[in-house]
């Protein structure tokens, strides 16, 4: 079974509140490997394209303003069941609805400022990773280093 990749970005509120190190640490402690990372300012055109599926919703314009209000830290994480596990780690969209132990449950209360984005499907992850990163910006890691995260003694990673 191949490892999945997913896109995550820490939104401006996470950076202003200086939560980046804590959030990244949670992903690393869970066993994810960072294969790409960059600090960027998301432009209005980019945000509109990224969130185009929500264009007809009342929160779209505030979401674009929020996403473009400061720098974001974008990363590609790799690991077993990355999309599902990362989404579980994020918590629900609204911080106040998220359970304690999730990133949003521990650090967010707002319905708008929710700290972090994560791809919601494998298909979305591929599109989003390609939107933010060129292939040469992603690195391969030594699989030998992850043998203490997964049982790799058989034909599948467990």
- CA angle, residues 74, 3, 95, in degrees to nearest 5: 45
Nearest one of 11, 80, 5 to 36, comparing CA atoms: 5
pLDDT for residue 146: 85
pTM assigned to the model: 0.93
> Tens of pLDDT along the chain (158 residues)?
579 999 999 999 999 999 999 999 999 999 999 999 999 999 999 999 999 999 999 999 999 999 999 999 999 999 999 999 999 999 999 999 999 999 999 999 998 899 999 999 999 999 999 999 999 999 988 877 888 899 988 888 88
Q: Which two tokens stand for residue 37?
A: 């990372």
Alpha helices in 11-102 (DSSP H): 12-16, 20-30, 44-50, 60-67, 82-90
Does residue 92 contact residue 108 with C-beta atoms inside 8 Å? no
Does residue 82 contact residue 4 with C-beta atoms inside 8 Å? yes
Diameter of the chain by CA atoms? 51
Question: What CATH number should be reported for the domain whose range is 4-146?
Answer: 3.30.70.141
Q: Is 141 a catalytic residue?
A: no
**Which residue(s) pair with 5 in the sheet?**
78
Q: Which two tokens stand for residue 155?
A: 């034909």
Nearest one of 31, 24, 3, 39 to 122, comparing CA atoms: 3
Q: Which two tokens stand for residue 83?
A: 């999309």
Alpha-carbon distance values, 107 to 21, 86, 115, 156 (Å): 13, 16, 8, 35
What is the rounded distance in angstroms from the CA atom of residue 90 to the CA atom of residue 102? Answer: 5
């Amino acid at each position: 079974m191949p490892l999945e990749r997913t896109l995550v970005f820490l939104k401006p509120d996470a950076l202003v509140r200086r939560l980046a190190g804590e959030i990244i640490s949670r992903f690393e402690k869970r066993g994810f490997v960072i294969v790409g990372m960059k600090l960027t300012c998301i432009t209005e055109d980019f945000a509109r394209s990224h969130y185009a599926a929500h264009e007809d919703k009342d929160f779209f314009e505030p979401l674009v303003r929020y996403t473009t209000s400061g720098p974001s830290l974008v990363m590609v994480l790799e690991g077993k069941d990355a999309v599902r596990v990362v989404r579980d780690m994020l918590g629900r969209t609204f911080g106040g609805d998220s359970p304690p132990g999730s990133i949003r449950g521990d650090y967010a209360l707002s319905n708008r400022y929710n700290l972090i984005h994560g791809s919601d499907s494998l298909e979305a992850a591929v599109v989003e990773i390609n939107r933010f990163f060129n292939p040469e910006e992603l690195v391969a890691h030594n699989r030998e280093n992850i043998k203490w995260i997964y049982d790799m003694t058989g034909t599948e990673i467990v």
